[in-house]
Structures are given as C-alpha cells and as structure tokens.
Homo-oligomer: A and B are copies of this chain.
Amino acid sequence: MKLIILGCYSATPRAFTNPTSQVLDIQNHLFLIDCGEGTQVQLRKHRIKFARIRHIFISHLHGDHFFGLPGLISTLVLLGREAPLHVYGPKGIKEAITLLLKLGNSWTNFPLVFHELSSREPQLVFEDEKVEVHTIPLDHRVYTNGYLFREKPGPRKLDIDAVLRYNIDRCYYRNIKNGRDVLLDTGEWISNEKLTSDPPVPGSYAFCSDTVYKPGIIGQLKGVGVLYHESTFLEEHKDLAVKTKHSTAKQAAEIAAGAGAGKLILGHYSVRYGNLEVFREEARTVFPDTELAEDGKVFDF
C-alpha cells in the first residue's frame, strides 16, 4: 500500500499549500480520496495517470474537499476517457456535478456513476476480491464520512520444502493455499498447518477528515494499520475545535491509541500555526508512532 498526499491543509488553497486530496495505491487500485481545488494539477505534478483512477471517495461537500472534482471530471472528458468512473459522496454530489456539466453544455462520454451516501451507520460501499471499503460516519458541520480501506486476507503461504517432502502434486497447491488438508496416496492426511504458514497480515487504512473528536469510531477502527486523522488545531485551541467541529492533534492521537492503530498520520492543519512539528509533538505525548502529512509526501506501508 502506498499513500500519496496531494494536499493536507484546511480551508482554502494557497500559493504553497493545497486543500485535502490523497491517492491510495492499494491492490492495483488508485483510489482518490477527496478532491479540493487544484487536485488535477497535483495529480499531474506527481505524474499520476488520470486513467488509473476509477474510484473517487468524497468525505463531505465543503469546498476544500470537493471543488476540484468538476474540473477533474471535465479534464477526463477532454482526455477522451471511456472507462467508468465511480464517485462516492454525500447526497447532493450528483446534482452539483450534473448541473455544472449541463451549464457547460457537456456530458461525459464515459459512464459516470454516483454512489450517494446518507446513512449514519458504517456501510460497505466497494468490494472486489482483494479490497473492501466501508464508510466511517463522522461528525462535522455537514454530513461527513471517513473511509476504511481493508485488504482481504490473501491465500496462505505455501511451504515449498514441505510439499516437496511429502511429494504432493502441483495440482493441489491452490487448495492447500486456500487452507485445505491433503490426502496422500498412502491414505495419510497431512494437515494444512504442516504445509503452509500464515499469509501477510492484510493492510488497512482509515481516512478520517473532517470531524470533531468522536471516540465512537474507535470500535470500527480496532487494529487498523494506518490511521489518517484530521488535526486542524492544537489543544490550546480546543474551544475552536469544538466550535467548528474539528479535532486537535492530541484528540487524533487518542483515537489512534484507542484503536491500537499501527501508525497515525496527521493532517488538515489550520494555517495559523507556523510549524507543523508542533502537531507531531502534541500527538506523540499520547501516541508515539505519529507522522505528519505534507503536500507531496509519499507513505509506503
């Protein structure tokens, strides 16, 4: 899994800071998460092939999380895209995009499929053989979802030495990887655990932005590999966080600690703070394995 931060600042785009957008490279998918103004330029700067993006997940309909979407879709039209594009986001997103395209007297020559969300409970919104994506209902000034991306467990790892030792035919390998025991010609049963080891732990990534401190999501996030959690403010401005329904760095760390996350990535910084390091310092008092998102930064995990 690879996470590319295209933008991680709150509010409006500036000369050197971009509003929220990121790309999750997972099991051959390039999932685009949020799409603030300027996202298509950031995609170009990072040489990400537009054609590889087939699913876009929008958290909520504040401009700094989706005003780049109409332009990105218009660009896909100009590029002659034919493959379907799936857009997941709050109810209303379809009307907005449709109206903007209609006003420009244009429409997509590719299927543009909207998956409008309105549930307050976690929902499975995408699934294939290797990945599933659930919403994480958040609490912000407008209807907002985070997204939880989970790899499915892969097949068990074949112990080549063992299968050769038992002289097992290749045609059984697939079944063995899927956990089956084997009956030898001698009539002896060989248990699966003698022939395989556990597959790698499936990766998972949770994107939680924007939201007020919401410990209610911890249950859903238990054991998550990497958690991106907004930290618009520091504790010194906790009152502002409550008022605007955002979180502090320490609160983000408390969510990460409660969930037993492998790693915490902070982002969605207010530009009032000069130095991002203060966010990490505050979070590390609660959750040591904290990293800072920065525009253009790539996380491999």
- Please give the residue numbers on chain A whose beta carbons come within 8 Å of chain B beta carbons, in ascending order: 11-15, 37-38, 40-41, 44-45, 61-64, 67-68, 70-71, 74-75, 78, 90, 92-93, 95-96, 99-100, 103-106, 141-142
Contacts and interface: CB of A to CB of B under 8 A. Distances in A.
Nearest to A17: B41
A71 B103 contact: no
A105 B95 CA distance: 15
A265 to B, nearest CB: 24
A68 B96 CA distance: 15
Contacts of A62: 74, 104, 106
B104 A100 contact: no
A13 B141 contact: no
A118 to B, nearest CB: 13
B61 A41 contact: no
Contacts of A12: 40, 71, 74-75, 78
A57 to B, nearest CB: 17
Nearest to A13: B41
Contacts of A74: 12, 62-64, 67
A45 B142 contact: no
9 contacts: A11-B75, A13-B41, A37-B37, A37-B40, A63-B100, A67-B100, A92-B103, A93-B103, A96-B99
Contact of A95 (B68, B99, B142): B99
Contact of A104 (B68, B103, B142): B142
Contacts of A104: 61-63, 142
B44 A15 contact: yes
A11 B78 contact: yes
- Most chain B CB within 10 A, of A13, A74, A104, is at A104
A61 B15 CA distance: 25
Nearest to A61: B103
Contacts of A41: 13-15, 38
A277 B216 CA distance: 61
Contacts of A37: 37-38, 40, 68, 71
Nearest to A74: B63
Given A99-B96, A100-B96, A103-B92, A38 B63 contact: no
A250 B95 CA distance: 41
Contacts of A45: 15
Contacts of A11: 75, 78
A181 to B, nearest CB: 56
A99 to B, nearest CB: 6
Contacts of A95: 99
Ranked nearest first, the 10 interchain pairs of A and B with the lowest CB-CB distance are: A61-B103, A63-B74, A12-B75, A37-B71, A105-B142, A67-B71, A92-B103, A62-B104, A15-B45, A15-B44
